[in-house]
Structure 1
């Protein structure tokens, strides 16, 4: 029984129609794919101009001609009541309604029409099948948060049951809890792992300390999918070693769906079937492939709510090898608003600071995980989890690395903790500005 597809159908999300539509899109040859994309771009803009008063007001009086003149939507533009953003014929009664996590600093409620939502799940299922995983039959070990109120908790548990998922709540990541996780892997047959990067990495470090390869205790395991948080090459090596299976980086957004997924050749293939992805400069002009810029996305099928040239809040670049049918994400550099201000006034991506810290602190495996918070221009607090506080010698090495890679005069404070705080969904914000 295809329980996952059945649950979508029972909730009036036409998953079978969506799978058939996706199959037809996938059959479009490369030589005709640019025409398909251009046609869908024009259709979705025209549709919302004709049917969505909110978008018509946002678009303004400019005529719809040159694509680069289509205004870029910011998350702040959508922070108004959802009722005022619906297209004609849609309401909260006949769409999928969700809420973003707010990791960009701009949480909001959004809507997707039922076919668009089903198409998102068809896309996920198609990509997972690259690795022999089927949402209708493969069992998932799910490293996610869970609502703590009784209704939300029950709802998520019910969704897990229909989705062949067993959830590992990640608000407690102590060694004692990790032992319980390990027993579950020993007693249950999981086909794949899916969840937040930081929590899965922490579990891998626990296995490393115990000298355990996860596939040895759970031979059915085929794949690990990490999502929602930054993923580093050292983490990938650790996970593949301790889990004994391929590790894939997934890039998605709750308001849009799947954005990119790594194929078996290691290419981060963007979703070209139902999304149009651009990388633009500060003026909104598309940059050449290989150059970094702001990631802007158009949802080609969402008729309930416009996401057209929508700036998701990330920066990255497209590979020069990209084509219309197979666009490839070369780099994902993190949030556009995650920038560190140094004493000299120089501004650098917060991710730069994080790379340096990670390479120094985690090199000897002494620290399990950490976060970096900027408390004032040039001042940073590094909160880390380890069994014992870092020695003075280790702290000096971190400070020296900061001077080498960034600049002198940084005001660094270190905060030893037993656990790190995560948001309500269990996500760890790895760089944060507090002033």
Structure 2
């Protein structure tokens, strides 16, 4: 019956849902499942064609790029190779903040406001169109099917984004029930909450788990501590994303749940960049996304050398991301994957890490529980939260002209509500927050072992 219901969802209900939203997800997923087997040269030809279209549209319809192209003397009509993109300046988070309206295409319709999770300490607001959403959903859908998991198969999602957690209205709850997707909040993971999570997973017997590697590893560790068997549930894969996946996390999750772990890399801003296949290759969604690796001087690096990941998303004509600096560090791979797909590979992804914090009463929480207290405060440009001990937490703030002094009390109250009323919260206003050796900000550092 499970197979029949999954077929109904994947072939009837979900396609209808997407059509009603004006998305081309189903058609795009089918195309992606065909193009993934193309030779590298054919994929690169499609990239070039779509890049030319994106650049031409940006020149005509996007005020920011119309002015930029004129200023640097860039002619989209003369682009003959993907490498010609290197003559354009990078797009940074600061550029997006300063030119939010000018980055919108003048003919765009139905743009939706979005924002990043603030993992870099620099929250970012931007807009996405229906084309972008369709392509990203199709890319993720293709990746889940690599592991024998389809839309409609039961899944457990361990997540903490307020975008997900704030939309549990009747329509959303109904949709999740139809799709058999069950959300477990990653913010608070007390012993009692973890016991409940184990019971839910055992009862639901999902085909896949999806979430932060740190969260799934914590649940796995709790199962082992409690002596609760979880490897007999028929889970096919555990998808992890949004943080760096460490070897010990992969081993713990796989051992406890009796399934392989598939790593994914991407973000709300940059899109669904890459996902791991069963043969172990981190395949870039090359039909939609161009990836460059650059050094500190902005020079493009060859495969095998580590540098900042720069992304051009080819389905962002309504709000273009062209040579967007992600702030992440990675390495391209020039080898082919044993699976036979022609999609290029990421060899390594560095610099992503989301810590847990420990409340005064011992409750373990995902670091995002603190991040969201500070992230959306008007006027906060950058921040870093350092949990020095169970009784003392420091907050470094870089603020702009919109920041109100009354927000300081709100931040203290919000953090104390999560960490404990007896915790001392010290807030320091600074001109700049130093970067880590990797070149990224660490938005949260906990010196308290969970």
Q: Could you say which TM-score interval applies, normalised by the shorter chain?
A: 0.7 to 0.9
Counterpart of 2:380? none
SS at match of 1:153: coil
1:209 and 2:234 aligned: no
Instruction: Please state how far the C-alpha of 1:123 moved relative to its aligned partner.
Output: 1.0
Counterpart of 2:256? 242
Q: 2-side partners of 1:149 and 1:35: how far apart?
A: 37
Q: 2-side partners of 1:289 and 1:72: how far apart?
A: 20
Q: Which range moves more in the overlay, 305-314 or 319-328?
A: 319-328
1:36 and 2:46 aligned: yes
Deviations 1:48-72 (A, max 9, x none): 1122112222343322353211111
Q: Is the 8 Å Cα contact of residues 37 and 342 (structure 2) preserved in structure 1?
A: no
Residue 220 of structure 1, aligned match among 230, 234, 243: 234
Kindly tell me: are residues 44 and 131 of structure 1, through their superposed partners in 2, closer, same or farther at Cα, counting changes over 3 Å?
A: same
Instruction: Please state how far the C-alpha of 1:144 moved relative to its aligned partner.
Output: 1.0
Counterpart of 1:17? 27
Counterpart of 2:36? 26
Q: Is the 8 Å Cα contact of residues 15 and 118 (structure 1) preserved in structure 2?
A: yes
Aligned counterparts, 1:230-309, within 5 A: 230-309=244-323
Instruction: Please state how far the C-alpha of 1:148 moved relative to its aligned partner.
Output: 9.8
Instruction: Please state how far the C-alpha of 1:368 moved relative to its aligned partner.
Output: 7.9
Counterpart of 1:71? 89
Residue 331 of structure 1, aligned match among 348, 357, 362: 348
SS at match of 1:202: helix
SS at match of 1:39: helix
Q: 2-side partners of 1:150 and 1:168: how far apart?
A: 9
Kindly tell me: are residues 369 and 102 of structure 1, through their superposed partners in 2, closer, same or farther at Cα, counting changes over 3 Å?
A: closer
Deviations 1:237-273 (A, max 9, x none): 1111111111111111112321111111212111111
Q: 2-side partners of 1:26 and 1:322: how far apart?
A: 13
Aligned residues, how many? 357
Instruction: Please state how far the C-alpha of 1:189 moved relative to its aligned partner.
Output: 2.7
Q: Is the 8 Å Cα contact of residues 112 and 303 (structure 1) preserved in structure 2?
A: no
Kindly tell me: are residues 146 and 302 of structure 1, through their superposed partners in 2, closer, same or farther at Cα, counting changes over 3 Å?
A: closer
Instruction: Please state how far the C-alpha of 1:124 moved relative to its aligned partner.
Output: 0.8
Q: Is the 8 Å Cα contact of residues 125 and 134 (structure 1) preserved in structure 2?
A: yes
Q: 2-side partners of 1:223 and 1:150: how far apart?
A: 23
Deviations 1:33-57 (A, max 9, x none): 2222222222212221122112222
SS at match of 1:224: strand
Task: Give unpaired runs (5+ residues) of structure 2.
Answer: 1-7, 356-362, 368-384, 391-415, 421-440
Q: 2-side partners of 1:41 and 1:278: how far apart?
A: 14
Counterpart of 1:56? 66
Q: Is the 8 Å Cα contact of residues 213 and 244 (structure 1) preserved in structure 2?
A: no
Instruction: Please state how far the C-alpha of 1:150 moved relative to its aligned partner.
Output: 9.5
Deviations 1:61-96 (A, max 9, x none): 3223532111111111111474432112114xx234
Q: 1-side partners of 2:166 and 2:208: how far apart?
A: 27
1:153 and 2:175 aligned: no
Deviations 1:356-400 (A, max 9, x none): xxxxxxxxxxx98998xxxxxxxx966589xxxxxxxxxxxxxxx
Q: 1-side partners of 2:256 and 2:240: how far apart?
A: 15
Kindly tell me: are residues 188 and 149 of structure 1, through their superposed partners in 2, closer, same or farther at Cα, counting changes over 3 Å?
A: closer
Kindly tell me: are residues 110 and 242 of structure 1, through their superposed partners in 2, closer, same or farther at Cα, counting changes over 3 Å?
A: same
User: TM-score under structure 1 normalisation?
Assistant: 0.73
Q: 1-side partners of 2:261 and 2:321: how far apart?
A: 30
Counterpart of 2:121? 105
Q: Is the 8 Å Cα contact of residues 317 and 330 (structure 1) preserved in structure 2?
A: yes
Q: Is the 8 Å Cα contact of residues 370 and 383 (structure 1) preserved in structure 2?
A: no
User: TM-score under structure 2 normalisation?
Assistant: 0.71
Kindly tell me: are residues 149 and 313 of structure 1, through their superposed partners in 2, closer, same or farther at Cα, counting changes over 3 Å?
A: closer
Q: 1-side partners of 2:444 and 2:315: how far apart?
A: 34
> What RMSD in Å do the two structures reach over aligned CA positions?
3.4
